Amino acid sequence: MSTFLLEIVTPDRLVYSEQANSITVRGVEGELGILPGHIPFVTPLQVAPVFVKIGNQTTAFAVQGGFVEVRKDKVVILAESAEKATEIDLERAEAAKSRAEARLGASRQDEIDHRRAELSLQRAMNRIKVSGGN
Ligand code: ATP
């Protein structure tokens, strides 16, 4: 089975670097499967899980936005933050979710705070999903 090098990179660290058979990401226009030999392109990502297939194993990552870039020699996911399931602190994500929900439920709020709370909720829910919580 052919592979390509996948790198998941954040401003802090190289989160992941492995030969993969395929990945599934959620781009701005929806779900996208990437196989070896895909034509080069770049697209923004939603805050959503990224699934990496190697052999019959699938590994999920919580990827908080960013971009996927398919190059001739490798695929790079560049995100503000990304964690694999075992790196996620579920309690922290649950707390972030509750905080964001409380902010969204508060009556008076300016638009920027509302948007920030929505984005924070998306990140928390993404992490909860990937870590196997509800
Ligand atoms: P919080 O409000 O809990 O800080 P956040 O969504 O604001 O959550 P980010 O700004 O997205 O956090 O991330 C800051 C750093 O903390 C990143 O390095 C990210 O990987 C890490 N991080 C955030 N939440 C978690 C979590 N639940 N488990 C593990 N690492 C986390």
- CATH number assigned to the domain comprising residue 117: 1.20.5.440
> Tell me: the pLDDT tens digits for 8-18?
999 999 999 99
Same domain, yes or no: 39 and 81: yes
Instruction: Write the pLDDT tens digit of every residue in 27-74.
Output: 999 999 999 999 999 999 999 999 999 999 999 999 999 999 999 989
Q: Whose CA is nearest to atom 24 of ligand 1?
A: 93
Ligand 1 midpoint to CA 64 (Å): 10
Residue 106 pLDDT:
83
Same structural domain for residues 48 and 30? yes
- Whether 53 and 102 map to the same domain: the answer is no
- Give the Å distance between the CA of 22 and the centre of ligand 1: 27
pLDDT for 103-117, tens place per residue? 998 876 788 889 999
Ligand 1 pocket, residue 89 CB under 6 Å: yes
* Number of domains present in the structure of the chain: 2
Cβ neighbours for 26, distance < 8 A, ≥ 6 positions apart = 32, 45, 46, 48, 49, 50
19 and 70 share one domain: yes
pLDDT band at 133 (very low <50, low <70, confident <90, very high): low
Q: Would you say the CB of residue 22 lies under 6 angstroms from ligand 1?
A: no
